Structure 1
Amino acid sequence: MDEKDWNAIRVLYEENNISRAAERLYISQPALTYRLKNLEKEFETSLYFKIKGGIEFTSEGVHLADYAADMLNKLQKTKDYMLNMQDEVKGTLRIGVSSNFAQYKLPKMLKDFSSNYPNVQFNVNTGWSNEIMNLLDSSSVQLGILRGNYDWYGVKTLLHKERLFLISKKEVDMTNLFNLPFINYNTDSSLKNLINEWWHDRFPEPPFVTMETDRQETCKQMVKNDLGIAILPEICLQPSDNLYTYGLSYKNGDPVLRNTWLMYNKDSLQLSTVNNFIKFLDNGSTI
């Protein structure tokens, strides 16, 4: 097996469909099938079987897919360290970033870093914080920027604190929110728990939910059209939104804050790309 074989097995395992895997690999379906048949001959076993709409891996195939992912990970680490042995700061910085942070903060951050280190490339994965946590655990990324509180065995540094805000099109009475239409949105469990914790601290009854949206930006557009109220992190709000905003506090007066963390494995500091990016953040990068 070589790198192309490892990648073919990994992509096929992720897609569970030969035609979609071939598209991702930029090869023809017959070429991928031929490569897979050769692997089955080499290991003298079946790696998968066809089902309606795709394929299913055999237990031997799952084992080989795990092996392929492990080998690709080791190869990437080797490439990273080989580049690091050169004096020039170059290579690929692999980052996993929470979606909101990626949308509102990351582009400028990477642009500023690129101005200082133009030979560094970026491989960025975005998603909910629990998904970024999984990427960190599997060493698929070197750095993770996550929102909310997660346990991590490596280095965990607080990047940013932000307040949660209630938003509305019209002025509202904060003591009477449970009678107003409330708009929900899909988000990670840490933010949901924070919102629910504040609500239960202030009100004896649940919010009057009238709408469920797929994401925060959709939710904000609904509020702009006076279809209800919502609770969003400060990072999502802009002066141009022209909305009433109310910073949330618990009954004891403490503000409701959400933390953004930088997480990485200490061994990654041996890489000049990672080390310089962390120094860049420590030296006052705008967050």
Structure 2
Amino acid sequence: MDEKDWVAIKVLYEEKNISRASERLFISQPALTYRLKNLEKELGTELFYKIKGGTEFTSEGVYLAEYAEEMIKKLQQTKDYMLNMREEVRGTLRIGVSSNFAQYKLPKLLKKFSIEYPNVQFSVHTGWSTGIMNLLNSSSVHLGILRGNYDWYGVKTILHEERLYLISKHEIDINKLPELPFIHYQTDSSLKNLINGWWHDRFSEPPVVTMEIDRQETCKEMVKNDLGVAILPEICLQPSDNLYTYGLSYKNDTPVLRSTCLMYNKEALQLSTVKNFVDFLNQNSNL
């Protein structure tokens, strides 16, 4: 078995479908089938069987898929450390970043870092913080930038904190918020819990939810068109939005804040790419 075999097994195990797996691998379906049949012949056992709508793995196939994922990680670690043995900072930095930070902060940070370290490439995964947490736990990324409060056994550093804001097209009385049309949007559980916690601290009745939106930017556009009010993190707001904003506080006047944290394993600092990027982030988190 070689690296291409490991990747093919891993992708097929994730997709459970030859057609989708071949698309992800950028090879033809017959070529993938041929590779897999040769692999079964080499190992002398059946690894997969067809089912309606896809492919299922035998117990031997499941074992091999787990082995393949482990070998891919070990090979990547070996490549990382081999590159790290050179004096110059070079290699691929694998990072997982929450969607909001990726949209509003990450491009400038990566641009500035790449100017200082032109031989570093980036492998970036973005998504909700819960998904980034999974990438960290599986060692699929060197480090993660997450928003919200998550338990982590490694190094965890707060890059900055931001306030949550109620936004509206026209000036409103925040005490009458339960009477106004409220716009919800899909987000990760940490932000959802923070918003719900503030609401229950301030009001006894639930919000009048008139819209369920899939993205924060779409939600903001709805507010701009006077279709309701919403609560967004400060990172999403710009002066050009021309909206009324109200910083949220609990009844005891404590502001409602959300943290952005940098998380990684201490061992990852042995890689010069990771160490230099961590130092860079700590110095430039306010960009």
Same-fold call, TM > 0.5?
yes
Amino acid at match of 1:245: T
Are 1:127 and 2:101 an aligned pair?
no
Aligned partner letter, 2:130? N
Q: Aligned pair 1:221/2:248, yes or no?
A: no
Residue matched to 1:211: 211
Aligned to 1:194: 194
- The residue number in structure 1 matching 2:117 is 117
Alignment of 1:33-112 (within 5 A): 33-112=33-112
Distance (whole Å) between structure 2 residues aligned to residue 243 and residue 207 of structure 1 = 20
1:233 to 2:233 alignment: yes
Question: Which letter maps to 2:12?
Answer: L
Distance 2:89 2:117 in 1: 7
Give me the identity figure in percent: 78
Gap regions ≥5 residues in structure 2: none
Query: Are the counterparts in 2 of residues 109 and 286 from structure 1 also a CA contact under 8 Å?
Result: no
Q: Secondary structure at the match of 2:175?
A: coil
**1:180 maps onto 2:193 in alignment:** no
Q: Assess, with a 3 A threshold, how the Cα gap between structure 1 residues 285 and 187 changes in structure 2: closer, same or farther.
A: closer
TM-score of the superposed pair, with normalisation by structure 2: 0.98
Aligned-partner SS, 1:45: coil
1:5 match: 5
2:27 is aligned with what amino acid? I
Q: CA deviation at 1:215?
A: 1.2
1:177 alignment partner AA: L
How big is the shift at 1:282? 2.2
Comparing 12-21 and 2-11, the one that deviates more: 12-21
Alignment deviations for residues 66-109 of structure 1 (CA, whole Å, 9 cap, x no partner): 11111000000000000000001000000000011001100000
The answer on 1:15 being equivalent to 2:47 is no
Q: How many residues are paired up?
A: 287
Shift, 1:285, TM fit: 4.4
What residue in structure 1 maps to residue 142 of structure 2?
A: 142
Q: Tell me the secondary structure at the aligned position of residue 103 of structure 1.
A: helix
- Checking the alignment, whether the CA contact within 8 Å between 1:47 and 1:60 is kept in structure 2 is yes
Distance apart, 1:179 and its partner CA? 0.6
**Where do 1:260-271 residues align within 5 Å?**
260-271=260-271
Corresponding residue SS for 1:175? helix
CA deviation digits over 1:205-258, x for unaligned, max 9?
A: 111111101111111111111111100000011111111110000000000000
One-letter code of the match for 2:157? T
Aligned to 2:161: 161
Note the C-alpha offset of 1:49: 2.0
Structure 2: distance between partners of 1:264 and 1:258? 19
Aligned partner of residue 123 in structure 2, secondary structure: strand
For 2:44 and 2:183, the matched residues in 1 are separated by: 56
Mapped contact 1:169–1:226 kept (Cα < 8 A)? yes
Contact 2:159 2:285 in 1 (8 A): no
The C-alpha deviation readout for 1:161-197, integer Å capped at 9, x for no partner, is 0000001111111000001011101100000000000
CA distance in 2, matches of 1:118, 1:285: 20
Distance 2:215 2:206 in 1: 21
The one-letter code matched in structure 2 to 1:142 is H
Q: Secondary structure at the match of 1:94?
A: strand
Supply the distance in 1 between the matched residues of 2:261 and 2:210 (Cα, whole angstroms): 33
Classify the secondary structure of the residue corresponding to 2:174. coil
